A = this chain, B = another copy of it.
Amino acid sequence: MSLPLSMTDTVAGLRDEVQSWREAGYTVGFVPTMGALHAGHISLVRTALQRADRVVASVFVNPAQFAPGEDFETYPRTLEEDAAKLAEAGCHLLYAPTVREMYPTGFASAVHVDGPAFGLESQTRPHFFGGVATVVTKLLNQVRPDTAVFGEKDYQQLLVIRRLVTDLDLGVEIVAGETLREGDGLAMSSRNAYLSAEERGRAGQLNLILKDLAQEAASGKPLETSLLHARTRAEEVFDAVDYIEIRNAHTLQAIETETLEEPARVLAAVRVGKTRLIDNMAV
């Protein structure tokens, strides 16, 4: 039987609850989210529950990782439904701080990560990973979990966070949560809610294009040919293609060989109407 879900919107409330768990000898898992929870998030919570005695999920739409003109204002906020889903999943604590709690007057610090943050998402969203690194450093220091789960859907973010945790000695095990997909293979994302029916129809093509690209690359075809093919297909379906790439799976560095000789990942970002979709998969 699971305990009822507690809720807090303050660092002090969070620390009190985690402290009481620590005193009882429990291990602590953590799942940071921006809310608008779907089955993919709940799967991350289940992964955390398998690895820790008590699990905190955070819901915080972090202004620091949105640029002006991006969807910070319109990002879906569904805290009541989120709480119900977390309670049902057996999560123990929902931490939903305000912007003022996270960034009080006088806030003046930032965490910057290079390495895996270079290129891809950073090309289109140059301030994104700085905002992510700063808020994740704060959240991990606030919760001090044994384990934190991040979805592979945001694969570059996952590698940036692994780098950050190693570099700043944050002392937490980072676990990758697999990407959940809809029936047509579209990766689950809170931003899928933005899609019109027509756009939703096209969106499902992204994972198919990536799947074919990964198969071609794995089969030993020249990477340039496979990439050209995938990009051409994507440009026919989508309103813009930010990138489609094959990169080293661990460093995200460009692959210099003609055909594939190292562990690799295919990654893409495209626009469908006003919605930006990202996806990735192992080769």
Determine the chain B residues whose CB is within 8 A of the CB of A171 once the complex forms.
15, 141-142, 144
| Known A108-B117, A109-B164, A144-B171; further 9 A-B contacts with Cβ < 8 A | A106-B115, A106-B163, A108-B114, A108-B116, A109-B111, A109-B133, A110-B113, A134-B168, A141-B171
Is A229 in the interface zone, CB < 8 Å from B? Answer: no
Instruction: Count this chain's copies in the assembly.
Output: 2
CA distance A138 to B165 in the complex (A): 10
Determine the chain B residues whose CB is within 8 A of the CB of A112 once the complex forms.
109-112
> Is the Cβ of B170 less than 8 Å from the Cβ of A141?
yes
Most chain B Cβ neighbours within 10 Å, of A107, A111, A117, A170: A111
CA distance A163 to B110 in the complex (A): 11
Q: Which residue of B lies closest to A130 (CB)?
A: B112
Is A269 in the interface zone, CB < 8 Å from B? Answer: no
Q: Which of B110, B114, B168 contacts A141 (CB 8 A)?
A: B168
Is A248 in the interface zone, CB < 8 Å from B? Answer: no
Is A11 in the interface zone, CB < 8 Å from B? Answer: yes
Give the shortest distance, in Å, between A12 (CB) and chain B (any CB). Answer: 11
Contacting B at CB under 8 A, from A1-59, are: 11, 15
> Is the Cβ of A168 less than 8 Å from the Cβ of B137?
yes
> Is the Cβ of A111 less than 8 Å from the Cβ of B110?
yes
> Is the Cβ of A167 less than 8 Å from the Cβ of B109?
yes
Give the shortest distance, in Å, between A139 (CB) and chain B (any CB). Answer: 8
Is A182 in the interface zone, CB < 8 Å from B? Answer: no
Is A198 in the interface zone, CB < 8 Å from B? Answer: no
> Is the Cβ of B167 less than 8 Å from the Cβ of A108?
yes
User: 8 tightest CB-CB pairs across the interface, nearest first?
Assistant: A108-B115, A109-B167, A141-B169, A108-B114, A142-B169, A110-B112, A109-B113, A138-B169
